Structure 1
Amino acid sequence: MLQRPLASEYPEYYKPYVNLVPEGNLLTLLKENLVKTIELFESLSEEDGHFRYAENKWSIKEVLGHMADTERIMSYRLLRVGRGDQTALAGFNENDYVQGSQINKLPIKNILEDFIAIRKASLTLIQNMPEEAWANIGFANNTEVTARSIGYIIAGHALHHYKIISERYLSLLK
C-alpha cells in the first residue's frame, strides 16, 4: 500500500491538500471521491452551475473545470516523475486556465464527463505504478516533489474543492 509522503517530499503550499487525505488506501479514496463527485454534480442544474458564492469567485462549473485541469496536470507530473524523468516541469496559473477554458459555455454534464475520464486515467496510472517508482523525485514548478506526494496531492486537491463546493456554494444555493 502507498504510504503517506513526508512533508519534505513536496512544497509547503501543498500541505493543506496532503493533510486532507485520510489514512487508508489511496485508490479506494480516489474511487469513493469520484462517486461522491458524480453524485454532487449530477444533482445540479445548469443554472446552479453558473452560481458564484461571491463576486469574483469561480462559478461551480469553473470549479469543476479547475478540478479536471489540475488533476490532468498532476497526473502528467505523476507519470513523468514516476517514470524517472528528471526534466523540470513548468508550473501553471490556475486563474489563466479557468479563464482560457470558457468552461461556463459547456453543459455541466460535459465538464463532469471530462473529470470522470481524467479520474479514471489517474486511477489506472496509480494502480499500475511500480512500487519502487513512488519514491522517485522530480521537479515541478521549481521545486522537488516525489511521485508519492503527487498521488496524495491529486486526492487532497479534489477533497479540498469538494469541501468548498459543499460548504460555500451549496449552502447558499438551498
Structure 2
Amino acid sequence: MRDINERLNYLIQSVPAKVKQYSEQEFSVRIEDRWSKKEILGHLCDSATNNHHRFIKIQFEKQPFVIVPYDQNNWVLIQDYQNMPLDEIITLWTVLNRHILRIISKIPEEKLGYVCDIGDNKSMTFFELVQDYLRHLEHHLKQIFGTSEL
C-alpha cells in the first residue's frame, strides 16, 4: 500500500501544475469524437466519487462486497464537464483524490483481503481494487498528457 499511497500523493501534487500548462481551449477539444481532456478529467472525478464510497463501504458491509457499476458516459454528460471551468474540475479532482488518499492510508491490513464481486462471476480483493483505481487514473492521465512521465 505504501507504493500506492506515494504514487497517488505524487499525482495529486503534480497533475494540477501540468494542467495549468494548457489553455481552456486545448482542454476542450474532443479527442477522436470522444471525450475532451476536460471530460476525461471530469470522468476521473466521477471515478473518485464512486470509489470513495466503495472504499468505505467495503470495510463494513457484507462480504463479498458487490461493486455496482455506473453509466460513465451519462455521468459525464449530465455534469456537463465540457462547459465547466477547467480550474473547477482540477480543484474537484485534487480534493477528491486527497480524500481518497486519506481513506486508503487508513485501511487496516486485515481488510485488504476482503473480497469484491465485480460481476460476470469475477472477484478481486480490496487491495486489487485500490490498485485498479490507481491504474485507471494513470491510464486516463496518459490520455490527457500523452505518454510523457507523470
The answer, yes or no, to whether TM exceeds 0.5 is yes
> Counterpart in 1 of 2:106?
128
Offset, 1:67: 0.7
Scaled by the length of structure 2, the TM-score of the pair is: 0.87
Q: Which has the higher contact order (CA 8 A, sep 6+)?
A: 1
Offset, 1:161: 0.8
> Counterpart in 2 of 1:68?
45
Q: Percent same amino acid among aligned pairs?
A: 20
Offset, 1:84: 4.4
SS in 2 for 1:149: helix
CA RMSD in angstroms comes to 2.0
> Counterpart in 1 of 2:133?
154
Q: Which amino acid aligns with 1:135?
A: G
**Structure 1: gaps of 5 or more residues:** 3-23
SS in 2 for 1:58: coil
> Counterpart in 1 of 2:59?
82
**Structure 2: gaps of 5 or more residues:** none
Offset, 1:62: 0.2
Correspondences of 1:12-91 after superposition (within 5 Å): 25-54=3-32, 56-86=33-63, 88-91=66-69
SS in 1 for 2:123: strand
Q: Which amino acid aligns with 2:37?
A: I
Scaled by the length of structure 1, the TM-score of the pair is: 0.76
CA gap of 1:166–1:158, structure 2 versus 1, over 3 A, is: same
Q: Which amino acid aligns with 1:152?
A: Q
Q: Is residue 106 from structure 1 mapped to residue 84 from structure 2 by the alignment?
A: yes
SS in 1 for 2:146: helix
- Identify which range, 142-151 or 108-117, moves more after superposition: 142-151
SS in 2 for 1:129: coil
Aligned pairs, number:
146
Distance in 1, Cα, partners of 2:140 & 2:86: 16
Q: Is residue 165 from structure 1 mapped to residue 144 from structure 2 by the alignment?
A: yes
